[in-house]
């Protein structure tokens, strides 16, 4: 456990060390031998000296850590939300500029924008400048005017979304080893997305890969919740978040369904020579949900190269797995109930044809088998 100590505690520790050193010198003189040679100091004094020396070293280290904690405490939440690099250095440049000759609002914005390209970062940087006590009254007035100018000329929803999603972007960016600015951009895109949840999910997979799709879903869900609960949300009223909440709910349902579907399709991997990958199965499910009446074409596009390499028995088994996979998808993820029924019926008809073809082929194989 780290104990933070103040200046008075440190002074007391130094006085204790000095008093102990005086006692040590007294004991040393008392134990001087007949030839004037110093004898070994008393063991308890030696041990006490070593303990105090260790404590003093610990307190010096804690004092250094205290300075670090103080520096971090001075950083406001606005500072932590800035995703640009070298933030402290860039802010110091702007402070020095304001302390120098009189700077116009236009010049200040131009110089700040050259350092903070993103409007959310730019606004946060000015908020951070305004909170710093080193600025005089006139400079605070200039910063206020700059803030007003940025909000007048910027996209309010996008700026607020970038600010509210920043901390979540940092956390999830670290987990996924992605640039937080990229995740901030993703959340802004999500707010403006007009397509269905299927297209949203596909877009995430295309941008970040199938392996990160669950993390991306969790990030967007967390960012949306934080945005809605913030003091200055992206939208003016809660009702405007309704369609986004519905999209996230459907994406969560889709995420659970894709896990079941993929598990079912690649479950019998040995019999299919491990040719069906997770990405392949995922593409099949998403395209099938988007185009249920064209499932035959979807199957050929997704699994065609795999199917032609399988023997009839393995091919039939794979089709059975795909049928079970689509049957496990909740009805709510289909555009309508009739679409699910149509897809299942088409798949069953395909499987029946494969089964009959396999039955007809079996006698011929036995006939041509060498005796």
Final residue of a structural domain among 127, 154, 181: 154
Same domain, 356 and 272: yes
Predicted confidence at residue 66, as pLDDT, reads: 44
Q: How many domains does the chain have?
A: 4
Task: Confirm whether 259 is domain-assigned.
Answer: no
Min mean pLDDT across 73-82, 177-186, 288-297 is at 73-82
Contact by Cβ (8 Å): 167, 197: no
pLDDT winner (highest mean) among 71-75, 126-130, 364-368: 126-130
Whole-angstrom Cα distance, residue 310 to residue 269? Answer: 12
Phi-psi region of 177 (alpha: psi -120 to 50; beta: other; left: phi over 0): left
Side-chain half-sphere of 255: how many Cα atoms within 13 Å? Answer: 20
User: Could you read off the pLDDT of 83-125 as tens digits, one per residue?
Assistant: 999 999 999 999 998 888 788 999 999 999 999 999 999 999 9
- Read off the pLDDT band of 370 (50, 70, 90): low
Min mean pLDDT across 80-94, 136-150, 163-177, 186-200 is at 136-150
Q: State the residue range of the domain holding 272.
A: 266-365
Q: What is the mean pLDDT of residues 49-64?
A: 49
User: Could you read off the pLDDT of 357-367 as tens digits, one per residue?
Assistant: 777 766 655 55
Contact by Cβ (8 Å): 108, 146: yes
Predicted confidence at residue 359, as pLDDT, reads: 72
Whole-angstrom Cα distance, residue 360 to residue 142? Answer: 86
User: Could you read off the pLDDT of 202-231 as tens digits, one per residue?
Assistant: 999 999 999 999 999 999 999 999 999 999
Task: Confirm whether 1 is domain-assigned.
Answer: no
Task: Confirm whether 60 is domain-assigned.
Answer: yes
Task: Confirm whether 172 is domain-assigned.
Answer: yes
CATH number of the domain that 184 lies in?
1.10.150.630
Final residue of a structural domain among 120, 154, 188: 154
Task: Confirm whether 370 is domain-assigned.
Answer: no
The answer on pLDDT for 31 being more than 60 is: no
Residues with Cβ within 8 Å of residue 210, at least 6 apart in sequence: 278, 279, 282
Final residue of a structural domain among 52, 74, 96: 74
Judged by DSSP in three states, 32 sits in strand
Task: Confirm whether 65 is domain-assigned.
Answer: yes
Predicted confidence at residue 310, as pLDDT, reads: 85
Task: Confirm whether 21 is domain-assigned.
Answer: yes
Q: What is the DSSP string of 130-195?
A: HH-TTS-HHHHHHHHHHHHHHHHHS-HHHHHHHHHHHHHHHHHHHHHT--HHHHHHHHHHHHH--S
311-to-170, 358, 368, 369 alpha-carbon distances in Å: 50, 10, 17, 16
Task: Confirm whether 258 is domain-assigned.
Answer: no
């Amino acid at each position: 456990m780290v104990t933070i100590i103040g200046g008075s505690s440190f002074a007391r520790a130094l006085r204790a060390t000095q008093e102990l050193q005086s006692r040590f010198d007294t004991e040393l003189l008392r134990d001087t031998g007949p030839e004037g040679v110093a004898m070994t100091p008393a063991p308890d004094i030696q041990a006490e000296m070593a303990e105090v020396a260790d404590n003093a070293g610990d307190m010096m280290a804690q004092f250094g850590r205290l300075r670090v904690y103080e520096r971090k405490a001075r950083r406001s939440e606005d500072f932590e939300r800035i995703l640009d690099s070298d933030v402290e250095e860039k802010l110091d440049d702007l402070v020095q500029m304001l302390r120098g000759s009189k700077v116009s609002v236009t010049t200040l914005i131009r110089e700040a924008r050259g350092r903070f390209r993103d409007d959310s970062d730019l606004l946060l940087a000015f908020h951070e400048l305004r909170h710093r006590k080193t600025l005089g009254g006139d400079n605070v007035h200039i910063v206020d005017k700059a803030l007003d100018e940025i909000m007048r000329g910027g996209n309010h929803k996008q700026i607020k979304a970038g600010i509210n999603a920043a901390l979540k972007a940092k956390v999830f960016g670290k987990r996924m080893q992605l640039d937080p600015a990229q995740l901030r951009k993703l959340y802004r895109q999500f707010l403006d997305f007009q397509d269905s949840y299927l297209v949203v999910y596909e877009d995430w997979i295309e941008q970040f890969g199938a392996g990160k799709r669950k993390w991306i879903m969790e990030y967007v869900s967390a960012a949306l919740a934080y945005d809605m609960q913030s003091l200055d949300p992206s939208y003016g009223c809660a009702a405007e978040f309704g369609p986004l909440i519905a999209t996230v709910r459907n994406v969560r349902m889709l995420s659970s369904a894709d896990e079941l579907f993929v598990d079912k399709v690649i479950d019998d991997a040995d019999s299919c020579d491990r040719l069906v990958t997770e990405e392949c199965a995922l593409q099949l499910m998403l395209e099938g949900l988007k185009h249920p009446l064209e499932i035959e074409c979807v199957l050929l596009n997704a699994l065609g190269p795999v199917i032609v390499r399988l023997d009839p028995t393995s091919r039939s088994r794979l089709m059975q797995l795909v049928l079970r996979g689509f049957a496990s998808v909740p009805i709510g993820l289909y555009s309508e109930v009739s679409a699910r029924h149509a897809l299942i019926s088409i798949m069953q008809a395909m499987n029946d044809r494969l089964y009959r073809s396999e039955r007809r082929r079996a006698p011929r194989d036995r006939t041509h088998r060498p005796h």
